[in-house]
């Protein structure tokens, strides 16, 4: 074990997931407030006032007022060292969002109390589910009329397939929002509205046994409703079981209002107690103890030209074990090379801080001279560690891409290939056509705009994108198969990926089945098997 166990054990690394507008940015902002990172709530982002989130990087983000890329925020609170991985909140997100979840140890799911589970929550939740990481639910905007609390919990259980355990329970909502009842403390936290932008309102904590005080505060009706609900809840909801929470099978649920800063600190405090210390990752079939003396990390994201002032490429790594020291050599496993990581930095939005050390659970960005790929392992020179790769998520949108000026062929190929290497897009070629015809596949359609913008700005190449109707992609698992002989449906397209693996594109799921029926023994999968 390392001499730095305490440093690692105080780390909590998590991602916040939500559907756009549920309040992820506002909640993050309030967390930062408690960490002393900003003085006044509202200074992180205000769409309406054209101020930008600290995580906005690219011009395109500024133009649209959305976050395209994910960033990392680190701060101390109550002895903990918190790493928040920001995932883009826009509807059109990219594989980056998914990959970011690979670097987190738990997730905070923000749900709008009036909207319940929304499409993007569902998608992101699925990825968290794949990893079995703990998920904490914050039901937000209780200062506005919200859906019935039992219905909200029911929806989470049914739609997402996870048991819920309310840690607190709202007393009314909207104009009648009186606060929350803390089930563990058996006390009422009273709500008082605050002006937008101010730190927090007055909250009083009253024991539920102090009937007169509670009655006075919330009135007869709310009081008897609360008592009924508590009774019902104690009989019906899942018991709190930290083991189940850690396996991602039970989500503790909290209610509050990020905007008025109600219930946020209580949530943060409970969350920090319940969330895990940095989780071990699997290398060569074995879990590597995060407290191990040997440093190890994996690359989960690569980004080029993040900042016009620094035309560079940054590889983001999640440290999985030990301590990183900037002056020590490390081994890049896939490149089979011992090196010193160049300009290791912690990146908080566009501010960069050069780091001399970091610990398991932390995220560092290092200058990448073009040697790293997503999923690569970096470790102490003598360690024998190779982390499992990161799955390639199936793109859902496709377009044919052509450069407008044919003289710029070289820059075009370079740009498209580099952006694909970063993993922002996937590129495919028509079978046996070389780079003549390039088909781009993305997880979120916004990536098409990002591609166009970046090719123009970084590579000086204008392109035309022609949308293609495909929605499903399947890799062919059979080895030694003559793909040209496959008989599919008329809408099917045969292509190869960057690594030369054959795959098929389909317009609808029905065609997939038809193709399987027509080609006996054909094996298709949704993920590329590396």
Query: Using CB under 6 A as the criterion, which residues of the chain lie in contact with ligand G4P when the complex forms?
Result: 18, 20-26, 46-48, 89, 140-141, 143-144, 257-259
Nearer to ligand G4P, 270 or 489 (CB): 270
Burial (0-12, 13-18, 19+ Cβ within 10 Å), 17: buried
Nearer to ligand G4P, 174 or 369 (CB): 174
Tokens of 237: 């909801």
Nearer to ligand G4P, 33 or 341 (CB): 33
Nearer to ligand G4P, 168 or 257 (CB): 257
Q: Report angle CA 232, 233, 239 to the nearest 5 degrees.
A: 135
Nearer to ligand G4P, 190 or 515 (CB): 190
Burial (0-12, 13-18, 19+ Cβ within 10 Å), 245: buried
Partners of residue 170 on adjacent β-strands: 180
| In the complex, least distance from residue 149 CB atom to ligand G4P, rounded to whole angstroms | 16
Cα-only R_g, the chain? 25
| In the complex, least distance from residue 42 CB atom to ligand G4P, rounded to whole angstroms | 7
| In the complex, least distance from residue 163 CB atom to ligand G4P, rounded to whole angstroms | 25
The rounded distance, in Å, linking the Cα atoms of 103 and 70 is 12
The rounded distance, in Å, linking the Cα atoms of 68 and 315 is 17
Nearer to ligand G4P, 198 or 207 (CB): 198
Mind giving me the DSSP string for 461-500? --EEEEEE---EEEEE--SS--GGG----TT-EEEEETT-
Measured CA to CA in angstroms, residue 184 lies from 153, 232, 240, 250 at distances of 18, 16, 10, 16
| In the complex, least distance from residue 482 CB atom to ligand G4P, rounded to whole angstroms | 49
The rounded distance, in Å, linking the Cα atoms of 98 and 96 is 5
User: Running DSSP on this structure, what letter comes out for residue 157?
Assistant: I
Partners of residue 111 on adjacent β-strands: 139
The rounded distance, in Å, linking the Cα atoms of 436 and 402 is 9
Partners of residue 73 on adjacent β-strands: 84
| In the complex, least distance from residue 142 CB atom to ligand G4P, rounded to whole angstroms | 7
| In the complex, least distance from residue 124 CB atom to ligand G4P, rounded to whole angstroms | 12
Nearer to ligand G4P, 194 or 426 (CB): 194
| In the complex, least distance from residue 218 CB atom to ligand G4P, rounded to whole angstroms | 20
| In the complex, least distance from residue 26 CB atom to ligand G4P, rounded to whole angstroms | 3
Burial 164-181 (b: 16+ CB within 10 A, else e): bbbbbbbbbbeeebbbbb
**Which residue in the block uniquely carries the two structure tokens 């009655």?**
215
| In the complex, least distance from residue 33 CB atom to ligand G4P, rounded to whole angstroms | 13
| In the complex, least distance from residue 19 CB atom to ligand G4P, rounded to whole angstroms | 7
| In the complex, least distance from residue 346 CB atom to ligand G4P, rounded to whole angstroms | 22
Burial (0-12, 13-18, 19+ Cβ within 10 Å), 439: buried
Nearer to ligand G4P, 25 or 321 (CB): 25
Nearer to ligand G4P, 86 or 294 (CB): 86
Nearest CA-CA partner of 501 in 419, 428, 400, 414? 428
Nearer to ligand G4P, 100 or 403 (CB): 100
Tokens of 8: 């690692």
Task: Count CB atoms within 10 A of the CB of residue 303.
Answer: 23
The rounded distance, in Å, linking the Cα atoms of 42 and 51 is 9
Angle of helix 24-34 versus helix 264-274 axis, rounded to 10: 80
Nearer to ligand G4P, 270 or 478 (CB): 270
**Which residue in the block uniquely carries the two structure tokens 């610990």?**
359
């Amino acid at each position: 074990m390392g001499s730095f166990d305490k440093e690692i054990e105080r780390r909590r690394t998590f991602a916040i997931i939500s559907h756009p507008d549920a309040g992820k940015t506002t909640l993050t902002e309030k967390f930062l407030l408690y960490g002393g990172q900003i003085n006044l709530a509202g200074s992180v982002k205000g769409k309406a006032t054209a101020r930008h989130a600290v995580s906005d990087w690219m011009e395109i983000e500024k133009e649209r007022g959305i976050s395209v890329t994910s960033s990392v925020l680190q701060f101390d609170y109550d002895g903990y060292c918190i790493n928040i991985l920001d995932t883009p909140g826009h509807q059109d997100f990219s594989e980056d969002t998914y990959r970011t979840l690979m670097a987190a140890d738990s997730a905070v799911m923000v749900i709008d109390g009036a909207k319940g589970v929304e499409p993007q929550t569902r998608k992101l939740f699925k990825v968290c589910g794949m990893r079995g990481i703990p998920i904490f639910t914050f039901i937000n905007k209780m200062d506005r009329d919200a859906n019935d609390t039992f219905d909200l919990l029911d929806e989470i259980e049914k739609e997402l397939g996870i048991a819920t355990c309310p840690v607190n329970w709202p007393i009314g909502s909207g104009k009648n929002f009186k606060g929350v009842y803390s089930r563990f403390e058996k006390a009422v936290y009273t709500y008082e509205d605050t002006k937008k932008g101010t730190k927090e309102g007055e909250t009083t904590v009253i024991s539920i046994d102090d009937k007169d005080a509670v009655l006075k505060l919330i009135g007869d009706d709310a009081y008897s409703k609360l008592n009924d609900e508590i009774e019902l809840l104690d009989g019906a909801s899942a018991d709190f079981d930290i083991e189940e929470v850690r396996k991602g099978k039970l989500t503790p649920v909290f209610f509050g209002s990020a905007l008025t800063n109600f219930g946020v600190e209580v949530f943060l405090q409970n969350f920090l107690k319940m969330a895990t210390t940095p989780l071990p990752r699997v290398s060569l079939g074995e879990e590597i103890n995060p407290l191990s003396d040997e440093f190890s990390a994996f690359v989960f994201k690569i980004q080029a030209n993040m900042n016009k002032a620094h035309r560079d490429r940054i590889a983001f790594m999640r440290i999985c074990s030990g301590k990183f020291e900037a002056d020590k050599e490390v081994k890049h496993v896939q490149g089979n090379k011992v090196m010193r990581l160049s300009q290791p930095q912690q990146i908080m939005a566009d501010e960069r801080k050069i780091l001399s050390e970091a610990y398991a659970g932390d995220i560092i960005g290092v200058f990448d001279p073009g040697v790293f790929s997503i999923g690569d392992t970096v470790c102490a020179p003598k360690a024998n560690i190779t982390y499992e790769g990161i799955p390639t998520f199936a793109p859902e949108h496709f377009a044919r891409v052509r450069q407008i000026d044919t003289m710029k062929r070289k820059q075009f190929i370079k740009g498209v290939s580099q952006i694909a290497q970063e993993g922002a897009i996937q590129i495919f070629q028509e079978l046996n056509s070389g780079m003549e015809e390039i088909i781009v596949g993305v997880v979120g359609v916004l990536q098409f705009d990002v591609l166009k913008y970046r090719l123009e700005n970084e590579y000086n190449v204008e392109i035309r994108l022609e949308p293609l109707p495909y929605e499903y992609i399947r890799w062919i698992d059979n080895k030694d198969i003559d793909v040209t002989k496959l008989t599919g449906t008329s809408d099917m397209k045969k292509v190869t990926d960057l690594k030369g693996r054959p795959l098929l594109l389909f317009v609808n799921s029905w065609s997939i089945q038809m193709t399987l029926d027509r080609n006996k023994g054909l094996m298709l999968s949704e993920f590329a098997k590396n």
